Chains A and B, each alone.
Chain A
Amino acid sequence: MTQELTAILGILLFPGLLFFSILGLFFEWIDRKFYAKLQNRVGPLYTGPWGLLQPFADFVKLMSKEDIVPEGADRPVFSSVPVFALTLTFFATLFLPVCGPQGIISFEGDVVVLSVVLTILVILVFLGGFSSASRYSEVGAERSVLQLLGYEIPLVASVLGAAAITVSTGGSLSINGIVEAQRDWWAILGVQALGFAIFLLAAQAELERVPFDIPEAETEIVAGWTTEYSGRKLALLRLARDVELAFLCGLGATLFLGGPQPGPLVPGLGGVIISTMLFVIKSVAVLLLLTIIRAAMSRLRIDQMINFAWKWLVPLSLLQLLLAVVVPLVTA
């Protein structure tokens, strides 16, 4: 009974929904603040200390706004996309090892499940854009799927490459195995550095941020696939995007920076706190890298993005996958 209660509390409060909602909003704040700093601006300032509550205030404001569904929209699909998007991102976060060597859900092969979830999220984007019956949304939806064709293989290859670090410890396709394998040696410090770079670019594309914010290019197609969303639905979509940001930063930290390691070595409550701190700090480090990429480039065109992905990202990611598997075998 207590075990079930702990599990439910774990999913609802920590390290589940509530923790990741707060973390997502906090990450949005860091992203905005650091982005502003890079651009010589001040960023959010007035809501809460240093504008910390600005993302939350935006969320509350959107929740109270009028919610419009366009006349020609496919109502059931249009309305369910934000809910599914948020549910799926929350589902994905349950795999992350926030306060220990494994997440709430953990089984052999969960890395593959995560890759599938990331792809389904893009298909939701496509459904949302296509069901809103707006020309801007449709162009945005088309672009998001085209973009997926470009970055999906590199993303999966970099994630699988990270799993290859477990070769020396017997081989595993689970987050838990990858985290355990990085007990005294972070993956990024070896052949995985290339994989980490590829992961960052692919994550940037998954999150639709500059230079890959093509599906929601503001100056071209208004807000892309989210053009017709408003009110509560937009609030949920934005929260989903924030949680996805936290999730992908966390995933990067887990796969390449050792996640909560070496926190779990400390027993008891202290270990949980240290693990969580380490996890968040490493995720923030990944986030800052993503923000720097966002600030230092301009938006590519969709054809240029696909060209870049297939000419450079895909071959490089296959190469790094090969290296990640072969090098440990040779050196072992």
Chain B
Amino acid sequence: MSSLVDIPIGPQHPAIKEPINITCYVDGEQVIGAKLRLGYNHRGIEKAGEYQTFIQNLYIAERICGICGIVHAFSLAQATEDIIGKEIPRRADYLRTIGLELNRIHSHLLWLGVAAHEIGFDTLFMYVWRDREMVMDVIEEFTGNRVTYALVTIGGVRRDLPQEKAEKILKVMDVLEEKVKKYKEMCLDERTIRVRCDGVGILRKEDAIALCAVGPTARASGVPFDVRADDPHAAYDEIPFKVVTYDTCDVTARLLVRIDETLESINIIRESIRKMPSGPIRARLPRIVPAGEGVGRTEAPRGEVFHYVRASGSEKPFRWKVRAPSLANFLSVPVMLTSKGDYVVYIADVPIVFASIDPCMSCTDRAVKFVDVSSGKSWVWTFGQIKRIYWRDRS
């Protein structure tokens, strides 16, 4: 069709907070198809990891994502412990669980605010972010930091949770539960939210399975896939919780999955604090990791995070590979943004549909390819070549 216009969204655009490019092919207001282009945010973190010790890498891993940092530190620690092959204290497992769940609550609330902003509902955005501060404060009390927590270490955690702090967390959880329930009611009752989210961004169950969607994106399409339940780690094997799924497959479903998961997380935290055994919080593990391979996986707020580490018997990893959930979910976006038959996507839907997978570009960009836009030629540079070019330009 010759009447198609391509509208670029990104890499700089108010709808997306991190650089990515979505090119929408539109006919009037209707989106016919969309194409994603990643790779604007490559930071070479995996390579940097090969030059640092395992302990130092935990702090790099935490900086992979500014929102779900603890998830990456946890997975890397888990992978390292997997190679060493020693159990860690049970109390540390519980403390890690509390950290992971607090992280999930703050991430889901952050997402809810962003989603409200994408559909132009700034009042909800402001309210949700105000209440998110309560979780941030609790996290700061618990770990000492608001954003990069430095809680997890190899063999356990670095900070204990005394009784009075635990009680404070419980108190905040009570207040938060009320608020989140109110927001759920608001999202269900407010007409303008419903008309913007119902039947928008459909990802059918078979598509979700075929495209390997993970996390809330998959669960909103009725796929009950949750690493916490499927492959229990930390203290998830002893804490009962529900895997929230919805089957309307649209943005509303993703909204509700996240809100319900927040409520579920609040319960997990309560249960963990109640069941937490006393004892040491850290096992002393050797600094030099024996040769071998290990994996760590957990359910990040956005879906499954997977860390692979290969050790060569020194204190530095030989190879470290991170697979963040957003990368798996990006594949679903072009499907959601393609009009097909009765299913029509409008330009106005693009921001909320894209936001509904809760994309995190800084987590995702692991590889980079150079493209000459004028000729379309693309190539890959090795690390050595980049270094050479860097020094050539400097001299």
The interface of chain A, by Cβ under 8 A from chain B, is 38-41, 135-136, 139, 142-143, 210-211, 213-214, 217-222, 295-304
Contact = CB atoms under 8 A, between A and B. Distances in A.
B196 A300 contact: yes
A200 B137 CA distance: 42
A40 B123 CA distance: 9
B351 A219 contact: yes
Contact of B348 (A135, A136, A210, A217): A217
A132 to B, nearest CB: 15
What is the predominant secondary structure among interface residues of chain B facing chain A? helix
Interface in B278-311: none
Contact of B119 (A135, A136, A222, A298): A298
A80 B7 CA distance: 27
B126 A222 contact: no
B351 A298 contact: no
Contact of A298 (B26, B190, B349): B190
Interface in B113-170: 116-124, 126-127, 130
Contacts, number: 83
Given A39-B123, A299-B120, A301-B346, A135 B130 contact: no
B58 interface: no
A139 B347 contact: yes
Q: Which of B8, B117, B126, B350 has the most CB of A within 10 A?
A: B126
- List the 9 closest A-B pairs by CB distance, nearest first: A299-B120, A298-B121, A39-B126, A219-B15, A298-B119, A298-B192, A301-B348, A219-B351, A297-B192
Given A139-B347, A297-B190, 15 more contacts: A39-B127, A41-B126, A139-B26, A139-B29, A142-B29, A210-B120, A210-B121, A211-B120, A217-B120, A219-B117, A219-B118, A219-B351, A298-B192, A298-B193, A301-B346
Q: Which of A38, A142, A211 has the most CB of B within 10 A?
A: A211
A298 B120 contact: yes
A114 to B, nearest CB: 29
B14 A218 contact: yes
A297 B348 contact: no
Contacts of B126: 39-41
Interface residues of B, number: 32
B195 A304 contact: yes
Q: Which of A39, A142, A213, A220 has the most CB of B within 10 A?
A: A220
B209 to A, nearest CB: 30
Contacts of B340: none
Given A219-B120, A220-B351, A300 B195 contact: yes
Contacts of A143: 29
B29 A302 contact: yes
A300 B192 CA distance: 7
Contact of A301 (B26, B127, B130, B196): B196
28 contacts: A39-B127, A40-B126, A135-B7, A135-B8, A136-B7, A139-B7, A139-B29, A142-B28, A211-B120, A213-B120, A214-B348, A217-B348, A219-B15, A219-B117, A220-B348, A220-B351, A221-B7, A221-B347, A222-B14, A296-B123, A298-B116, A299-B120, A300-B192, A301-B195, A301-B346, A301-B348, A302-B29, A302-B348
A222 B126 CA distance: 20
Interface string B81-122: 000000000000000000000000000000000001111111
